[in-house]
Amino acid sequence: MSEADKTYRVMIFGKEGCPKCDVLKERLGKALEKAEWADFDKQYYSVKTAEGLVAFSRAQCINPNRIPAMVVAKRDAATGKYDFLPNPAQGEDDSVCQKSRLYQYLGLQTDYSDVGKGVISSKMITTILEQARAL
């Protein structure tokens, strides 16, 4: 399956020189190397570029102070365009993703509080990918 034909796209928002951004890219990359996630690809956007800022603005619900972040989109077979998936559990407690879960769309942003400790774990990432398929 070519990158253009992937059903899902995970959009990562970060910036150069950010160690946590590199960790998120690496963790997501390792997950997507597995055959079970062959229908997903990833696209990285630096919020320090015009293209990255436009994509970040379209994501609407990411707090700029909670980068790195990721949002999952699904490809519309008719148009080929990727549309953000809605969060099916808006406002509900999430034992895995906790306060890192985005509210409006299916995705994660970094929780820098004492609870989140600035970590987006591999388990959090795969939980979001599983939920994308369930929609």
List for the chain the helix, strand, coil content (%; round to 5). 35, 20, 40
pLDDT of residue 2: 58
pLDDT of residue 91: 86
Examine the pLDDT at 75 and tell me if it is beyond 70. yes
The phi, psi pair for 51, rounded to 5°, reads -60, -45
Cα 69-129-83 angle, rounded to 5 deg: 70
Domains contained in the chain, CATH given: 3-134 (3.40.30.10)
- As a whole number, mean pLDDT of residues 74-97 equals 93
- As a whole number, mean pLDDT of residues 120-131 equals 97
**CB-CB neighbours of 117 under 10 Å:** 9
Query: Higher pLDDT residue, 19 or 61?
Result: 19
Residue 98 banded pLDDT, cuts 50, 70, 90 = very high
Q: pTM for the whole thing? A: 0.93
Spell out the alpha helix ranges (H) of the chain. Answer: 19-32, 50-59, 122-134
